[in-house]
Amino acid sequence: MLGGRRYIVGRNHHEAENDTTDRGASIVAALNGSSSGATRRSSAMSATRRYVKRISEEHFEIDPAA
């Protein structure tokens, strides 16, 4: 109850999976369009870190399999 009203919350697992897939695709697309310096900065962000793998200290590569 909130403010005298009853709310029912549900979770649609199919939509959640689609949202995750779409979010990952948009992050990879943004990384593909960025320069190497931007990719390096983006790799520090938790949302993009899983899509970028470190090749050497200064070089990163987009990991589409992730």
Please check whether residue 59 lies inside any domain of the structure. yes
pLDDT of residue 14: 93
Pair of tokens at residue 29: 């697309």
Residue 39, judged by CB atoms within 10 A of its CB (0-12, 13-18, 19+), counts as: buried
| Below-70 pLDDT ranges, the chain | 34-47
The pLDDT value given to residue 47? 67
pLDDT at 45: 61
In a domain, 27, yes or no: no
pTM metric for this prediction: 0.39
Domain of residue 57, residue span = 35-66
Structural domain includes residue 42:
yes
In a domain? residue 65:
yes
pLDDT at 46: 64
Q: Check residue 12 and give its pLDDT.
A: 93
Domains in the chain, number = 1
